[in-house]
Amino acid sequence: MILYFDIILPSVLFLLTSSSIFIHDKLESRFPSLFEEAKFSTKETVLTASWIGVAVAIMALVPREAIRIFFLAAYSYILFSFIYVLLKKWYIAIFPPLLFICSYFFFWNLATFNIFVAIFLIMIVLYTSGLFSWRTVWIFAVLLTIMDIIQVFFTGFMVQSAMKMIELRLPVLLILPMYPCTSVINLGLGDIYLASLISIQASAKYRIKVGVLIAITNSIAMFIFEVIMLNIKLFKFFPATLVVMTGSAMGLGIAHIMKMIKKHK
């Protein structure tokens, strides 16, 4: 019996999640002014998760070209504002959006696609991580997971939206080759964002080592999940937020056990 598995996606997930932790640690002082150090309340967290659910449904129903125009404009603006906040020079900040648009229309391939997915992940994490507290990040994670389950298994809007994004070649999910299994797998930007957000909040509440531990356990959970998916093939599409929640819980559990062992030595 052949056991199929993949090491590329778990490795990339760990690389992106751990990178977001260290980049956030180095650059967070540049970004609090954007939100005046405000934190989401429970109500605002619920509304944000609900808005994301509605947005997924809208993307599944809106015409393709309208989505393309909206995303290219939104990404270009985010890229410009990010570089401007970082460097305070508008004449430098205009070049990354131009590079993105030119790449999309003239030099778009799997490598540039995934590079911009990683860039947008880091930008969104830096922009929004300061809005959450340890409490509200878990409220957000639970609500996002519930929404993901509903949108994948019941309404199908998540699947429709993902397929539409792939057809439009918009960088909202990773598309990676597997190894040693010879196939291709996708992982949504939202799933990586949630893993990064929880890891960053864990780093802030405890220490960076705990955040990195959660990044490791998320990668392990993703590896196990892929092994199950590739060999049992129960589902063609699966809400990966469940994998992220499982991996994050594993990391926190291990961190608490290690703390208790250290305390009793």
Q: Which pLDDT tens digit goes with each residue over 137-189?
A: 999 999 999 999 999 988 888 888 888 888 999 999 999 999 988 889 999 99
pLDDT confidence of 32, banded at 50, 70, 90?
low
In a domain, 49, yes or no: yes
In a domain, 2, yes or no: no
pLDDT confidence of 33, banded at 50, 70, 90?
very low
Residues 6+ apart with CB under 8 A from 210: 202, 203, 251, 252, 255
Burial (CB count <10 Å: 0-12, 13-18, 19+), residue 165: buried
| pLDDT at residue 219 tops 60 | yes
Whether the bond into 180 is cis, omega within 30 of 0:
yes
Supply the pLDDT for residue 86: 84
In a domain, 53, yes or no: yes
- If you average pLDDT over every residue of the chain, what do you get? 90
Residue with tokens 């300061």: 130
Q: Does 111 or 235 have the greater pLDDT score?
A: 111
**Average pLDDT of the segment spanning 84-109:** 92
In a domain, 1, yes or no: no
pLDDT confidence of 4, banded at 50, 70, 90?
confident
pLDDT confidence of 39, banded at 50, 70, 90?
confident
Number of alpha carbons in the 13 Å side-chain half-sphere of residue 216: 11
**Average pLDDT of the segment spanning 119-140:** 91
In a domain, 254, yes or no: yes
Strand spans (E) along the chain: 173-177, 184-188
For residue 227, give the H/E element and its range: helix 208-232
**End-to-end distance of the chain based on CA atoms, in angstroms?**
45
Burial (CB count <10 Å: 0-12, 13-18, 19+), residue 151: buried
Highest mean pLDDT among 84-98, 156-170, 213-227: 213-227
Using an 8 Å Cβ cutoff, are 242 and 221 in contact? Answer: no
**Average pLDDT of the segment spanning 191-197:** 96
Q: For residue range 50-74, list pLDDT tens digits in order.
A: 999 888 888 888 888 899 999 999 9
In a domain, 228, yes or no: yes
In a domain, 125, yes or no: yes
* pTM for the structure as a whole: 0.92
And the tokens for 205? 């509440």
**How many structural domains compose the chain?**
1
In a domain, 149, yes or no: yes
**Residue 186 phi, psi dihedral angles, 5° rounding:** -115, 145
Using an 8 Å Cβ cutoff, are 107 and 13 in contact? Answer: no
148: domain range? 8-263
